[in-house]
């Protein structure tokens, strides 16, 4: 497995691969990798000839007071995991490679307001603008035929699909279902912030969302009642809830009668750690 730090090093590999007519996949990450990330790499491996994983902690998507400086940087360990998962190239740029003129003077994109402003956007304003800004740069630099993202960040997945559609990128976006630990907690790099007791308590988030999805699918309760009960259970267990929302999976709007493709999404704090998760609503 190769390592590229600069644009020129990256291009020396990708140019050669494209000349050979090989299909390229990109797996964007911020590092501190876990099994969820590696599942993306393995999915990419099945559909492409070469897999590029990027590792870049993107300052543009962190808000004031968030954990940008504390976010774990574990490049050596990440490289070993990626090699075992079948990655061909790690692109690990510095800030000046991604933002040559500096972040404050960088050209930026704005995410689709209808997808970016609700839910996460209410609590992390500007977050998805930072996401689409860096993802567009990665698409431009790598030139992939395929990009792979996890469904745990479901709203982000929709935002990126719209980015690809709006800007006409000639690539396929592949989504991979959320990978969970033994107790059902969605794997996340930020789970490392959880203490042992908090990690056990955090498993309730998945349980509550699964039960809420089943209630919604059964038709035994309307949207507001499903959301209200899920919030009540989480708060009763000590979570600080940002949102619990039952939405159309296609565009995060409120479901209407007859909608059959729904998601229940939540963000909640377990101690000092903010967790996000979602579940599909089956059989609506």
Active site residue ranges: 37
> DSSP assignment of 202-219, as one string?
HTHHHHHHHHHHHHHHHT
Residues in Cβ contact with 50 at an 8 Å cutoff, skipping those fewer than 6 apart: 17, 22, 23, 24, 25, 88, 89
Q: How far does CA 130 lie from the centroid of its chain?
A: 13
- Pairwise CA distance, residues 183 & 194, whole Å: 14
Helices and strands in the chain, H and E counts:
11, 9
Burial label, 8 (beta-carbon count in 10 A; 0-12, 13-18, 19+): exposed
- Pairwise CA distance, residues 173 & 27, whole Å: 10
Structure tokens, 141: 């630099």
- Pairwise CA distance, residues 272 & 267, whole Å: 13
């Amino acid at each position: 497995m190769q390592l590229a730090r600069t644009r020129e090093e990256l291009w020396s590999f990708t140019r050669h691969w494209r000349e050979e007519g090989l299909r390229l996949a990109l797996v964007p990450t911020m590092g501190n990798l876990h099994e969820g990330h590696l599942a993306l790499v393995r999915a990419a491996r099945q559909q492409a000839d070469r897999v590029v994983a990027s590792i870049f902690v993107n300052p543009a998507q962190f808000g004031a007071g968030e954990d940008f400086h504390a976010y774990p940087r574990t490049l050596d360990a990440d490289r070993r995991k990626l090699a075992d998962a079948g990655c061909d190239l790690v692109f690990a740029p510095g800030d000046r490679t991604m933002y040559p003129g500096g972040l404050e003077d960088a050209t930026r994109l704005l995410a689709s307001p209808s997808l970016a402003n609700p839910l996460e956007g209410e609590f992390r304003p500007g977050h998805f603008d930072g996401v689409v800004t860096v993802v567009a740069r990665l698409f431009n630099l790598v030139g992939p035929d395929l990009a792979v993202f996890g469904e745990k960040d479901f709203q982000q997945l929709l935002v990126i699909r719209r980015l690809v559609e709006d800007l006409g990128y000639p690539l396929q976006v592949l989504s991979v279902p959320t990978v969970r630990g033994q107790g059902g907690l969605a794997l996340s790099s930020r789970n490392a912030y959880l203490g042992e007791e908090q990690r056990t308590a955090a498993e309730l988030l998945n349980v509550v969302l699964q039960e809420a999805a089943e209630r919604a699918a059964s038709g035994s309760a309307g949207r507001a009642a499903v959301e209200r009960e899920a919030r009540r259970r989480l708060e009763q267990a000590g979570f600080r809830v940002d949102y619990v929302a039952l939405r159309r999976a296609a565009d995060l709007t409120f479901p209407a009668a007859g909608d059959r493709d729904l998601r229940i999404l939540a963000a909640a704090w377990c101690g000092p750690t903010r967790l996000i998760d979602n579940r599909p609503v089956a059989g609506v």
